[in-house]
Chain A
Amino acid sequence: MSQAIAFYFLSACILGFAVLVITTRDTVHSVLFLVLDFLFVAALYVLLGAQFVAAIQILVYAGGIVVLYLFVVMLVNLKRPPEAHQDPHRRTNWGLALSVAVLVELAIVGGYSYARPAPAFAAPSPAAPFTGNTEQVGWLLYTSYLIPFEVASMLLLVAMIGAIVLAKREL
């Protein structure tokens, strides 16, 4: 029961702040709503028993990425609000119609899965010699998923170099 209350509260907060992120006129306010949204998503991860990912979510998203966004919003001096310029060829109605089509498809999928609940899987849990969440995640990262882990680190290195090159005033 308490889990249900927590889930519905967190869901309402997540969706409400997400709507505020995409509807607010002021970009700085939008970024701040994004921080709150990420924090509530992290709380949802804790509810699901994924404490390590929740900590990573707060550290990387709320601490790192959002600060990056704030810096860019401050650097980009919005004398002319981007929404003021209207492109006559832009088809916002088409965009909305396509979004609604995806929404309908998702609603059909959701209704289908309500009508026929998914079978409970037998849990073939990998035999991790630990019980804590962080230990299990770390054990998997450094054994079965070592190569994807290294590839992700290479990706981050390449992205860092690329971002520096792009943002440098002249090469």
Chain B
Amino acid sequence: MITSTHYMLLSAALFMIGVIGVMVRRNIIIIFMSIELILNAVNINLIAFSAQLQNVVGQVFAIFVIAVAAAEAAVGLGIILAFYRNKETVNIDEMNLMRW
């Protein structure tokens, strides 16, 4: 029997993979993809609870999360392009113009 605990554990594992990607990788495009994985983990949680509670509100919130993810991807990739034009790199270790 698959309960909502199973879905929560799946979501937690996916979230963890995203967090490890953000923390460990240096390519900023990979880091953005890891953030998408994290948002997907949140969505899985929302939909699983929506199914458990027989309530559609969770799906509405998942749609909002998807909209925010689309906005974030568009602006973030614009920033990456602008930065690449100036510094010729996508390595976040070299993106320290505003540090300190």
Taking beta carbons and an 8 Å cutoff, which residues of A are in contact with B?
A: 3-4, 7, 11, 14-15, 18-19, 21-22, 27, 30-31, 34, 37-38, 41, 44-45, 48-50, 52-53, 56-57, 60-61, 64-65, 68-69, 71-73, 75-76, 78, 80, 82-83, 85-87, 90, 92, 95-96, 98-99, 102-103, 106, 109-110, 113-114, 117-118, 121, 123-126, 128, 133, 136-137, 140-141, 144-145, 148, 152, 155-156, 158-160, 162-167, 169
Taking beta carbons and an 8 Å cutoff, which residues of B are in contact with A?
A: 1-10, 12-21, 23-30, 32-34, 36-37, 40, 43-44, 47-48, 50-57, 59-60, 62-64, 66-75, 77-82, 84-85, 88-91, 93-94
Known contacts A44-B44, A90-B93; 16 further A-B pairs (Cβ under 8 A): A11-B6, A15-B17, A21-B30, A22-B17, A48-B51, A50-B50, A53-B59, A53-B63, A60-B70, A82-B28, A99-B19, A113-B8, A125-B56, A137-B60, A152-B67, A169-B85
Per the bound structure, the CA–CA distance linking A125 and B54 in Å amounts to 7
Q: Is the interface of A mostly helix, strand, loop or mixed?
A: helix
Q: Is the interface of B mostly helix, strand, loop or mixed?
A: helix
